[in-house]
Amino acid sequence: MASDSPRRFTCSSFRRRRLFLLPVLLFAFFLFFSTPWSLPPLQVSGISSLSRANIVSLVKGPPVEEIYGLLHFVTSDDDRILSHSVKVDHVTPIDLTVYLGGDQPDWKSHMRKLREEYPLIVFSKTFCPFSKRAKKLLETYNLSPPPKIIEVDLRDDEDFIKLILTRLTDHSTFPNIILNGQELGGSDDLHTLRAQGKLKKMFENAGMTVREDIVKEQETQ
């Protein structure tokens, strides 16, 4: 019996320490994720500061594909324009924080908004006959939500947008049509999908409502 006492004492002490450590760990976890903080700037791989958001991003990796960053940027309510201080070329990806424009790095929420409010985004040019033809075809579907039209030639960052789209979609002309983050192509591609009887179903699969038949589509050709 005496030989069991040290073991009982050791197990009892371990349980007490575990019960003590658990609330301490929970409190530390709460502080880390509920209070804003950052460390002084660090010159590491272009990272200007190390914050909670950056650490979470580094641990989890890139949260989304860059195309969703661009879509979030151009559909924001404050008419954002890419700064000329941002390096934009045919090769180099852009840091997603640039596309946030000061928004919280809550990409899950941003992507949900894109899916619900802007599932179909058309990068267009006001004077382009192919853009006009594509937009006229889309009108025949009376879609809800309606397509979000980005008239690139009316933006001060027109050249930047074209470079980014070319890199991300391998499509350098307009219109450039994006459905739920996936490239559909241009006007000819859109009409081909319609002729194949695929387009309406694609819109419905993206969560859009097709309010009208497409009998009038022949007028667009």
pLDDT tens string for the chain (221 positions)?
445 555 554 555 656 665 666 666 666 665 555 554 444 443 433 334 444 444 444 444 445 799 999 999 999 988 899 988 888 988 999 999 999 999 999 999 999 999 999 999 999 999 999 999 999 999 999 999 999 999 999 999 999 999 999 999 999 999 999 999 999 999 999 999 999 999 999 999 999 999 886 655 444 44
CB 64 within 8 A of CB 143: no
Whether residue 145 is preceded by a cis peptide bond, meaning omega within 30 degrees of 0, is: yes
Query: What is the pLDDT, as a whole number, of residue 49?
Result: 43
Place of tokens 């391998």: 170
Cα–Cα distance, 182 to 67 (Å, whole number): 9
CB 214 within 8 A of CB 194: yes
pTM here is 0.70
List residues bridging with 51 in a β-sheet. Answer: 38
Cα–Cα distance, 216 to 138 (Å, whole number): 11
Query: What is the pLDDT, as a whole number, of residue 65?
Result: 92
Place of tokens 């992507």: 111
List residues bridging with 143 in a β-sheet. Answer: 210
CB 39 within 8 A of CB 49: yes
Query: What is the pLDDT, as a whole number, of residue 55?
Result: 46
Cα–Cα distance, 132 to 114 (Å, whole number): 24
